[in-house]
Amino acid sequence: MAFLSITDFDKALLSQLKTEKERAKYLLQFEITTRITIENLTPKAQAVIADIGLPFSGNNEADVITAARAWLQKKAA
């Protein structure tokens, strides 16, 4: 799947979108990656797009990314 370059990510545009569906569709254009976050003093992988944290974290990066993408797809439907 081809994604837009993260340099094309525009927070101002994202904030102007009126509905959750529109925001989810916009975010799905970009690759979801992870960053390390700390939960209860334990390092976890958190799903992110650019520097926007998504509400998914866990021990397995691939599972976190899959769950975040599925969540956005459901919101975009």
Q: Which of 27, 63, 70 is nearest to 48 (CA)?
A: 27
Mean pLDDT of 3-28: 89
Residue 35: is its pLDDT beyond 90?
yes
45 or 6: whose pLDDT is higher?
45
pTM: predicted TM-score of the whole model, two decimal places: 0.86
Q: Which residues contact 53 (CB under 8 A, 6 or more apart)?
A: 35, 37, 46, 47
Residue 1: is its pLDDT beyond 70?
no
Q: If 0-12 CB within 10 Å is exposed, 13-18 middle and 19+ buried, where does residue 57 land?
A: buried
Do 47 and 53 touch, CB atoms closer than 8 A? yes
Mean pLDDT of 52-73: 96
Q: What percent of the chain has pLDDT over 70?
A: 99
